[in-house]
Chains A and B, each alone.
Chain A
Amino acid sequence: MNRRTAMSLAVVASAALLLPGCTGTGGSSKGADAKAPDDPSKVTGTIKVLTVRTDLVQDGTLKKYAAEFNKTYPKVKVEFEGLTNYEAEVKIRMNTENYGDVLLIPAVIKKADYPRFFASLGTQAERSKKYRFTDYTTVDGKVYGQSPVGVAPGFIYNKRIWKEAGVTEWPATPAEFIADLKAIKARTDAIPYYTNFAAGWTLTSWTYVDGAVSCDPQATTKLAEDDPWAKGADLRVGDTLLYDIVKQGLVEKDPTTSNWEESKPRTAKGEIATQWLGTWAIVQFQDAAKKAGVNPDDIGFMPFPAQTGGKFCATVAPDYNQAVNVHSKYKEAARAWIDWFTDKSGYVEDNLSISPLKDAPMPQVLKPYEDQGVKLIEVDDAQGARVKQLDSDSEVGIYAPEYRQNLVDLARGARKGTLDGFLGDLSERWTDAQKNLGS
């Protein structure tokens, strides 16, 4: 670099310091409401719906929903935009006013900022009579989003393989679970447990053991206030189980090149016995089974191996919450879409998921849960925002793949250290962040 370019760089750099830090959207529409329309035939407008379900955009399923929607709301035109890397892309778009009319609330948005970005759907007092999960999006008594489906975490497993290994009862403790996986390894050709290490996000579902282990609806509050990796704490129990599974060699030979798409038909065919995912995955695995020409009924679902008072527990939480863009020109139409999609579209049944409507029946796939008396709990999310903040501040990333990938690496010897040291470091970072954030 010669002197002249150095000079011009310096000029540019000093100009940078003078630039005011203006980002984000203005607060003019803050606190707007998206009211439910009174007369469906009068609602007009073209709304754009942002979604993560690129598969449903491509195969035209969403268009079919829109056509169905138009029978009630003939003057509303619904367009869809599927985003593969949803979080990152929407986050950047939210610095402008154009982020669709209906969108899924990205995890990065702070709860306190919801009124700046989204139009309110009504008060919690009123909405919670009809819907589940309202507290996940409530700010100052107003609700800003509604999830169309609820999900419960659990193990997707191949019933045939587990039976072949001689296991008929769900394991009730982590030790039993390990013993069962060992039996699968000894008696069948299947991979007992598949980590799906390479995809990364698949490992993050291990965070959702929180609440299921201790059967505590206050699990999120505990994350915010206590050490999640203290002896006996939910995350420690879950992480220890994952560590032991890998340590005992009960996983695929080379996790680093695992393949998510491939893991679905392989599980259906019985080459893989078990994966920790969620209810949302059942329909995908059953489809994979149909495509592979094997029996979709082989796909089973079981809760985390822990019991409280002799009963299994499973948490039910919302998937992405749908919200109305506060800058949308057609808020009524957008609201109509959210209400219709949640109440009447049949999306819940199509995905074998738990309905956000309080009076709706449980999906058929959870029949075994009812039979075994699995207790479904809704975790209180009052401290959810604080947990997210702690997670970012500490750079632990309980909703990001790195920490579980490191845990798996540690267990298979590709990383130096001990489990106690590893989890101790996590608790240290977490509790430090708690101290710095204050209460």
Chain B
Amino acid sequence: MTDTTEKAAVEVSAAAPVPAPASRRTRAWRGVTPWLFLIAPLALLITFTYAPIVNMLAYSFTDWDGVSPVLHYTGVENYQEVFTRPDLFEVFWVSGYYLAASAVQIVLALYFATILSFDVRFRNFFKGVLFFPYLINGVAIGFVFLYFFQDGGTLDSVLSLLGVHTDHAWLGTPASANTSLAGVSVWRYLGLNFVLFLGAIQSIPGELYEAAELDGANRWHQFRHIIAPGIKPVLTLTVILSISGSLSVFEIPYIMTGGATGTETFVIQTVNLAFRFNKTGLASAAAIVLLLIILLVTWVQRRLVPDDKVDLV
């Protein structure tokens, strides 16, 4: 079958009249055309992504306070300060909670994506339920969950309906507060991971499952030998996103606790440096350092898990 089509294609192209070589002007236009299309996205990308980074990099070499017209060039002094103050890096321990949470999140998303990719009753409804939290604004989520964790709030009432009277201050101790916040983060981002996995799973041809079933494979075998290898690129991408996301957690703890009770993350600390203590220069340096850390972590992961092609057949 393949052979014949290929031959046919060759014949067709051979039969077609050979087009005259394009004039120099046309060729020049052809070279320019893709760039014309790219102008808008590139302009946006440069204005809103690279220019601010460049600005930030420039600030990181100054002692600017964020508003005064006077600023001095201080060389690498800010970077020296960032690296000689261990207290600035201590907050990365908090990221550990979010890392653990993203492991849970990926496993859960994978589980639900696998189940819902098969024929299940109310399948679309459940897809909607799982994806819905991702559509809500992060600030709103923060406020909603403040009530949720309140003393005698939603969580406590639900638990007492089940007969559990915990009397636990959910945001009261660093461990409990971080776990609760990481839980909120799982609730919010599960939907995104889930949709990514679902898309990848559904791009696996259906015949493969049929064939596997004929060979006597059960659901677990199908998952192990068809789904898992089939979605490997998406899986690695998700892991990378989760890890860099865990290092730069911001909105949920910022809105819910403002970084109190040991929930301060690196980004919250940077924001405080810039806006509370008016050390915009130092904060810019910290932000650049975070950017470099994330680039490094991503690069290491890419090295460990090379980006290979999927080949199911």
Contact = CB atoms under 8 A, between A and B. Distances in A.
Interface of A: 1, 12-13, 15-17, 19, 21, 23-27, 87-88, 91, 94-95, 106, 108-110, 113, 116, 197-198, 200, 252-257, 259, 391-393, 395, 397, 400-402, 405-406, 409, 412, 414-415
A108 B50 CA distance: 28
B84 to A, nearest CB: 14
Q: Which residue of B73, B260, B299 has the most chain A CB atoms within 10 A of its CB atom?
A: B260
A198 B255 CA distance: 10
B261 A414 contact: yes
B263 to A, nearest CB: 9
B172 A256 contact: yes
Interface stretch (B157-165, B194-202, B270-278): B270-278
Contacts of B273: 395
A19 B54 contact: yes
Contacts of B177: 256
Contacts of A254: 150-151, 169-172
Majority secondary structure of chain A interface residues (helix, strand, loop or mixed) = loop
Interface residues of B, number: 46
A16 B55 contact: yes
B261 A402 contact: no
Contacts of A253: 151, 169
A256 B261 contact: yes
Given A198-B257, A256-B171, A392-B277, 5 more contacts: A19-B58, A21-B58, A23-B64, A108-B66, A253-B151
Contact of A25 (B69, B149, B275): B69
Contacts of A259: 150
29 contacts: A12-B50, A16-B58, A19-B54, A21-B73, A23-B69, A24-B70, A26-B69, A87-B275, A91-B275, A108-B65, A109-B67, A198-B257, A200-B258, A200-B260, A252-B151, A254-B151, A256-B172, A257-B149, A257-B150, A392-B279, A395-B273, A395-B277, A397-B277, A400-B272, A405-B258, A405-B261, A409-B261, A414-B262, A415-B261
Interface string B228-265: 00000000000000000000000000000111111000
Contacts of A414: 172-174, 261-262
B109 to A, nearest CB: 26
A94 B273 CA distance: 19
B176 to A, nearest CB: 9
A24 B67 contact: yes
Contact of B64 (A17, A21, A200): A21
B146 A257 contact: yes
Contact of B67 (A16, A94, A197, A256): A94
B261 A13 contact: no
Nearest to A18: B58
Contact of B276 (A110, A252, A256, A400): A400
B297 interface: no
Interface in B276-311: 276-279, 295, 298-299
Interface in B78-126: none
Nearest to A197: B260
B157 to A, nearest CB: 14
B53 interface: yes
B266 interface: no
Nearest to B153: A257
B68 interface: yes
